[in-house]
Amino acid sequence: MALIDTINPLLTTGWAKGDAGWSLKDYEARGGYKQLRRVLESKMSQDDLIAEVKKSVLRGRGGAGFPTGLKWSFMPKAAPVKYVVCNTDEGEPGTFKDRDLMRFDPHSVIEGMIIAGYAVGAKAGYNYIHGEIFETYERFEEALDQARAAGYLGDNILGSGFSFDLFAHHGWGAYICGEETGLLESIEGKKGQPRFKPPFPANFGLYGKPTTINNTETFAAIPFILGMGGEAYLNLGKPNNGGTKLFSVSGHVNRPGNFEVPMGTPFSKLLEMAGGMRGGRKLKAVIPGGSSAPVLPGDVIMDCTMDYDSIAKAGSMLGSGAVIVMDETVCMVKALERLSYFYYEESCGQCTPCREGSGWLYRVVHRIEHGEGRPEDLDLLNRVTDNMMGKTICALADAAAFPVRSFIKHFQSEFEYHIENKKCLVDPEVQRMGSGFFKAGAA
Amino acid sequence: MNTPNTMLSPELSPESLKKIDREVAKYPADQKQSAVMAALVIAQDEKGWLPKETIAAVATYLGMAPMAAYEVASFYNMYDLHPVGKYKITVCTNLPCALSGGVHAADYVKQKLGIDFNETTPDGMVTLKEGECMGACGDAPVMLVNNKRMCSFMLPEQIDKLLAECK
């Protein structure tokens, strides 16, 4: 199981027993489904419920950071058919928090979704689960069966008159389905190509019906917010950045894994929780919010706190909370080459600037990495990103552009060295040993 | 492609069709197409890969155009439109995994099996694929076996063990 360390554990309270603590009886033993019961038995009004979530300043944990309560309030009241959808299509490189949430505490997601269904007046929901974590999808189906058998899902839940059912839908290998309207297309049994917005999903969502889409971690936070009250949850974090957040720390640290900390925790504390730098090596760069977030040099991130506002001020994004740590053994050109290949591979092909631009970015970074770069290539890369950003239906083009622009901005001399000398600034043997795959001295 | 339902549905076993029915039941009655992703996986599990005729059979069973099902099968990476070995090993080489040896793990498998990405061993046992982020970067290097089984922390010793199982 994943290594876990927390400050103020909420979302991770159920993770202590790892794979042995996910079932319904374990969840109920730690107070699970109590908030759903309270909402239904007290006949809490939808407005009061949404107001409580607004008070918590819970912001969407999938990457965009949009206030959850506000999103729920956009749902039209009168519509007869509405849906709640959970986005567990966790494919943003560096992000692996929702997988652990779903493995170790699937019922917290289910309870959060039922409460959301009550708040927005939906009778059905779908959880879209990343195809690559099929074992987690199967466990979630089992958890749904348990919840159904216990009367938490289905008709007339707990005798309240409120009915809601929930189903799992799996992806099968397409990053773009993490984009919410691509995800809706995918549930409808189509290619996951994003829709033009507006109309937004709150008006025209799944099957054309009003739909609320939130991230897995967002739903899982709902029972805790109702349990402690919106204000207490907000105060766990800092103003405008409520609550605790899961951070997935990967790369060159001693203990990669998920860590739950209050919003506003210093980056240095998070790095310490992850066991510090592997081999005691020097921190070179960090991508603080998943591969689409601009990279930050080590000395910049060391002065940041982990919350939406601090990371934005430093010129990046908190995104999904995926912290990719790179030490001095990394060639930044090679690192960018791999990320650029990813966006080229995953562009859905719908918009020309993204389909063609992502290919150009990859090919030019590839030629620099392979000693065929030209002096004008850095300008060319920046010009291509200019022609991509803000010019497409969804944000994948921007996601492909941010790494390119930020890698060049912060590590320009390394790119220039590569172009001039036709080789990496970092010795290939140093790079090779940096991954930890080979034992020292072995071939 | 215009063959009636009854002619094509026998392409899939009754067990597979039963599984597909369970998927169809998750969606509104007029939205059977929503089950196509799961249905194609069920079909792929039965056949080992997805021949065009099987995709068409799935489409017919769900009342959708064969081309619409083919669009789905060709859009998502984990559908196999060509035959693969008994074991398909997909290695994530994306950046977070690469920082912890994803690329080196792939190189190690290539060297052990004597094949490159998108190739199958001469005995037809193992196909090697390069994968994108599987959402398990904390467990790097990670590999997927036959799309569904996630293998974590794949250092040389663990890879040797996995390859020994692929018989």
> Do residue A133 and residue B103 have CB atoms under 8 angstroms apart?
no
Residues of chain B contacting A251 with CB distance shorter than 8 Å: 96, 99-100
Residue of chain A with shortest Cα separation from B151: A133
Is residue A246 within 8 A of residue A12, CB to CB? The reply is yes
* The predicted structure's pLDDT at residue A3: 46
Of B78, B94, B136, nearest to A99 by CB-CB distance is: B136
Name the closest residue on chain A to residue B71, using Cα atoms: A191
Instruction: Report pLDDT digits (tens) over B151-161.
Output: 999 999 999 99
- Residues lower than pLDDT 70 in chain A: 1-6, 8, 440-443
A138-147 pLDDT tens trace: 999 999 999 9
Give how far A232 is from chain B: nearest CA, Å. 31
Contact A338 B79 (CB under 8 A): no
- Whole-number pLDDT of residue A282: 97
pLDDT tens, position by position, B46-88: 999 999 999 999 999 999 999 999 999 999 999 999 999 999 9
Q: ipTM of this model?
A: 0.94
Residue A345 at interface with chain B, using a CB cutoff of 8 Å: yes
Tell me what pLDDT residue A441 has: 46
The pLDDT, as a whole number, for residue A241 is: 81
- Subunit contact A256:B138, Cβ cutoff 8 A: yes
Could you tell me what percent of chain B has a pLDDT over 90?
93
Flag if A437 and B93 touch (Cβ within 8 Å): no
| pLDDT on residue A97 | 97
Q: Is A244 on the interface with B (CB under 8 A)?
A: no
A-B Cβ pairs (cutoff 8 Å, strict): 178
Residue A6 pLDDT: 67
The distance of B91 to chain A (nearest Cα, Å) reads: 12
Residue A49: its pLDDT value, please? 97
Give the pLDDT score at A5: 62
Q: What is the pLDDT of residues A220-277, one digit of tens each?
A: 999 999 999 999 999 988 888 889 999 999 999 999 999 999 989 999 999 999 999 9
Of all residues in chain A, what percent carry a pLDDT higher than 90?
Answer: 92
Nearest residue in A to B94, CA atom? A338
Does position B8 have pLDDT exceeding 60, yes or no? Answer: no
Predicted confidence at residue A4, as pLDDT, reads: 53
* Cβ–Cβ below 8 Å for B99 and A90: no
- Note whether A2 contacts B139, CB cutoff 8 Å: yes
> What's the whole-number mean pLDDT along residues B160-164?
97
pLDDT confidence of residue A240: 82
Arithmetic mean of pLDDT over chain B = 93
Mean pLDDT within B29-43:
98
**Nearest chain B residue to A348, by CA:** B75
